[in-house]
Amino acid sequence: MTNIKLLTAASSLTLLALATPALAQTKFEFWYGLSGDLSERVQDMCKGFNESQSDYEIVCVSQENYDNTLQNTIAAYRANKQPTVTQIFDAGTLDLMLSGAYVPVRQLMEENGYQIDWDNYLSGIASYFSTSKGEMLSLPFNNSTAVIYYNTDALEKVGFEGTPKTWEEVETVARAMKEAGYECPIAFDPSGAWQWFEQFSAIHNQPIATKGNGFGGLDAEMVVSQGKFVDQLTWIKKMYDEGIIVHKSKDAGETANDAFVNGHCQITSSSIADHGTFGKQAAEGVHWTDAMLPIWEGTERTNSLVGGASLWTLKGKSEEEYKGAAAFFNYLAQPEQAQTWSTITGYVPVTMAGFEAMKANGFYDEAPYKGREVAIESLTFTPPTENSRGIRLGSYASIRAEMVKTMQDVLFNDRPVLEALQAFDAKGNEILRRFEQTYKGAQLP
């Protein structure tokens, strides 16, 4: 990231003009795809915004999950019943971009009197939700990246100091754990395509598709079977067959995360957003730490991908509702809000100002929050390359689901790795061509 300018010591946003107070409170809706404890935290945040001012009332409505939010948003927009703000997950970014149904966040904030230093957003986050020219279209919200978690007592038992930095070291440690009597050195859930496949590709600077992972046009083609993931999946399969990597999922009776916090498995990979959950749920006597995802020896590491979602402002709403949305976005951008959100969820601060404020407050110095800074290091390890800035592929949620099936086919049905990945590329291309036909003639922003 270059030319970072902090607008104030307390905020990355500066209000240029005071809006005339509304004669009556303006109500507007925000749809989101989180449930359970995270939904309750969103409701707390909405309540805080409403209590912070008297001009607007935000009504926050859970759609239960990301897929529902995307589909319900599309249906509502077609029926002219859309919310003012909607939360769309990373895999749905291109769908919104090509819909033409949104007001770019830069335009929204400028038109409502807010000047933003867009360079202040963490580069690894901003690039995912921006045009190919770097213009951010939606506001980063609940964002994370993948990390690897280790049981520190198990590492100590096998004589390893610190945490493994390479996959070669992970294999050495895991084999030693198996020999030391640990039944499950590494927990692996094939549904975790995001951390095991997408993040692997990013930090090894490997393309998932041509055209810069789709940023260069809708005619991109899948190329996974031509890259390093062939070797990675071959390694995963080998370790699985030897009982060093163990299948853990709902289908297997225990998820990978549950296996880790219960001490049944000693290594797992998951989102940094699970850092807080692990801290709350770890069984007595289970001690753990986190680290950036390993790379293979001889690899020059690049930044990891952002996960999570961003906030989109939809067209067709009133001027007053847009003023409310801009005020809400400004509220979210305050460093104190960034710290509160990161504290209660584990998601990362999305601006350098928020991150620096949290560091200055000593947020990352001690448990239970020590270790969360690893995500920022990973996201900003290098400036994004064309392979690590994001994935701009149509119907990507469907392509991601195909990768899950591919990994399952290799592990459980012994399908040859190269054959499976070639079939994955072919299926992915079918999905891409259907999407391209749907938006025939469209130009990516």
| Closest listed residue to residue 116, CA positions, set 38, 6, 34 | 6
Q: Is 11's pLDDT higher than 80? A: no
- CA separation for the pair 4, 287 (Å, rounded): 37
Mean pLDDT of 188-217: 96
| Rounded Cα–Cα distance for residues 175 and 69 (Å) | 43
pLDDT digits (tens, 9 = 90+) for 106-155: 999 999 999 888 888 988 888 889 888 889 999 999 999 999 999 999 99
Q: What mean pLDDT, rounded, does the chain reach?
A: 92
Average confidence (pLDDT) over 10-21 = 44
Q: Is the pLDDT of residue 235 over 50?
A: yes
Query: Residue 7: which pLDDT band, with cuts at 50, 70 and 90?
Result: very low
Question: 3-state secondary structure string, the chain?
Answer: CCCCCCCCCCCCEEECCCCCCCCCCEEEEEEECCCHHHHHHHHHHHHHHHHHCCCEEEEEEECCCHHHHHHHHHHHHHCCCCCCEEEEEHHHHHHHHHHCCEECHHHHHHHCCEEECHHHECHHHHHHHECCCCCECCEEEEEECEEEEEEHHHHHHCCCCCCCCEHHHHHHHHHHHHHCCCCCCEEECCCCHHHHHHHHHHHCCCCCEHHHHCCCCCCCCECHHHCCHHHHHHHHHHHHHCCCEEECECCCCECHHHHHHCCCCCEEEEEHHHHHHHHHHCCCCCCEEEECCCECCCCCCCCCCCEEEEEEEECCCCHHHHHHHHHHHHHHHCHHHHHHHHHHHCCCCCEHHHHHHHHHCCCCCCCCCCCCHHHHHHHCCCCCCCCCCCCCCCCHHHHHHHHHHHHHHHHHHCCCHHHHHHHHHHHHHHHHHHHHHHCCCCCCC
pLDDT for the residue numbered 140: 93
Q: What confidence score (pLDDT) does residue 10 get? A: 36
Q: Domain limits of the chain?
A: 13-144+307-379, 146-303+384-438
Structure confidence by residue, pLDDT tens digits, 246-280: 999 999 999 999 999 999 999 999 999 899 889 98
The model carries a pTM of 0.88
Contact 302, 92 (CB under 8 A): no
For the cut 60, the answer to whether the pLDDT of residue 19 exceeds it is: no
Q: Cα–Cα distance between 194 and 201 in angstroms, integer?
A: 10
Are the CB atoms for 105 and 414 separated by under 8 Å?
Answer: no
Q: Average the pLDDT over 369-384 and give the result.
A: 94
- Which segment of 60-74, 78-92, 332-346 scores lowest on mean pLDDT? 332-346
How far, in Å, CA of 249 to CA of 253, rounded? 6
For 32-69, write each residue's pLDDT tens digit. Answer: 999 988 899 999 999 999 999 999 999 999 999 999 99
Nearest-CA neighbor of 224 among 354, 399, 361?
399
Fold of 13-144+307-379: D-Maltodextrin-Binding Protein; domain 2 (3.40.190)
Model confidence pLDDT, tens digit, residues 88-114: 998 899 989 998 899 999 999 999 999
Taking the CA atoms of the chain, what radius of gyration do you get in angstroms? 22
Proportion of the chain above pLDDT 90, given as a percent: 78
Domain 146-303+384-438 classification at class level: alpha beta
pLDDT value at position 23? Answer: 56
